[in-house]
Amino acid sequence: MSLYEEFKNHLCNKLIPFWKNLKDDEYGGFYGYMDSNLVLDKRSEKGCILNSRILWFFSNAYMTLKDESLKEYADHAYAFLTDHCLDKQNGGVFWSLDHKGEPLDTTKHTYNQAFAIYALSSYYDAFKNPEAIKLASDLFRLVENKCRDEVGYKEAQSKEFFAIENDKLSENGVMADRTMNTLLHVFEAYTEFFRVSRRNEVAERLKWILDTVGLKIFNPAKRRQEVFFDNNMESLIDLHSFGHDIETAWLVDRGTEVLGDDHYKKLMAPITNTLEAEIYDCAYYNHSLANESENGVVNEWRIWWVQAEAVVGFYNAWQKRPGEIRYREAALDIWEFIKTKLTDQREGGEWFWRLDKDGKPDMEKPIVEPWKCPYHNGRLCMEMMKRTR
């Protein structure tokens, strides 16, 4: 079987059937929780990030496979996003809803607004629904007007857009005022929004983010991105997030390509090349990527999304520099690890959340929860189908 067929087979026969089965025909959207025993909780919280990512997934799967049956699922996700996840009174997207689609956590997080823009841009691209691009445009204006200040992008805010603690995007014992993660996914969302809209104001924000990555986020001395920041963009912790760095490398490359600006291509190329090389050297071993390093101590968990981004990131690195065959070999090695270790082979399974250093699944972690979705692994398959066709 060719590489293209391998990724297509995984998408069509593993991921798509799994997520189709989570469609909630009673209350809308998709069920939000399945435990490690593959028991579905139909009364669980429905994360708006989860449902945005599912909308993105089915829209892109439709475009990739030209399969008309997928439109039903994209439309279903779109209806739930527009009917339930959007705050009709105050604007923006809630953090989560209850199983019936009523607001549960009304936090307005910039990260969450970004994923809605990302999903709506793809839905528009797939089906040319004018309402979708209008909603994406409305959310773009909201982010720029209510989720940004003179320093950069804010994080968590209340329903009415007053600042609150950023507990949802803070980890490792710090409470961050700003994060690399939110900035990365605003960039990702704006890249897709610009690709389908070609609006100059979006291009200008993309350039601003790239400048910020170069000046504030990327640490050239440590060959990594900083992760958590105070309000003035000073790093709070000695943390190296391996998955985010390899994900950033290829998303920034893609963003500069979509932007089509030679200045930013030249500006960012040394940064993305450095991130790729450093992650290969310090995080890739045992056929997979370790999670992160805090104060020099490596976290050895093999997280599902980190492996997915590593395949695309290393393959992208090889495509830029075909002489660096080690990157292609690493991508395919990690893909083999995913197929044989990380993929849940049980009937009705998808991917495990994480494995320990010996390759044993952590059965305390669920198969589906507000963050565990078909975005990283679905994108892996679709990106690699494009790259190996």
Q: Please report the pLDDT score of residue 191 as a whole number.
A: 98
Q: How many CB atoms lie within 10 A of CB 203?
A: 17
Predicted confidence band at 282 (pLDDT cuts at 50, 70, 90)?
Answer: very high
Q: What is the pLDDT of residues 150-171, one digit of tens each?
A: 999 999 999 999 999 999 999 9
- Give me the percent of the chain exceeding a pLDDT of 70: 100
Distance from C-alpha of 28 to C-alpha of 100, rounded to nearest angstrom: 8
Confidence band of 12 (pLDDT split at 50, 70, 90):
very high
Residue 342 has what pLDDT? 98
Mean pLDDT score across all residues of the chain = 98
User: What would the pLDDT profile of 236-259 be if each residue is shown by its tens digit?
Assistant: 999 999 999 999 999 999 999 999
pLDDT of residue 63: 98
List CB contacts of 270: < 8 A, sequence separation 6 or more: none
329-356 pLDDT per residue, tens: 999 999 999 999 999 999 999 999 999 9
How deeply is 346 buried, as exposed, middle or buried, from its count of CB atoms within 10 A (0-12, 13-18, 19+)? Answer: exposed
Q: Specify the pLDDT at position 36.
A: 98
What is the arithmetic mean of pLDDT over 292-303?
98
pLDDT, residue 176, reads 98
| pLDDT band (50, 70, 90) for residue 215 | very high
Query: Residue 74's pLDDT is what?
Result: 98
User: Helix crossing, 180-197 with 242-259: angle to 10°?
Assistant: 30
| Residue 140, pLDDT score | 98
pLDDT at 381: 98
Give 40-61 pLDDT, tens digit per residue: 999 999 999 999 999 999 999 9
Report the alpha-carbon distance of residue 291 to residue 354 in Å, rounded. Answer: 10
What average pLDDT does range 68-85 have in this prediction? 98
341: its two tokens: 């270790």
C-alpha to C-alpha distance for 165 and 95, rounded to whole angstroms: 14
Q: What local confidence, expressed as pLDDT, does residue 346 receive?
A: 97
Q: How would residue 192 be classed by pLDDT, with cut points 50, 70 and 90?
A: very high
Q: How many CA atoms lie within 13 A of 6 on its CB side?
A: 13
* Calpha distance 341→344 (Å, rounded): 8
What is the topology classification, in CATH, of domain 3-388?
Glycosyltransferase (1.50.10)
- The pLDDT value recorded for residue 163 is 96
Crossing angle of the two packed helices 304-320 and 375-388, in degrees rounded to 10:
20
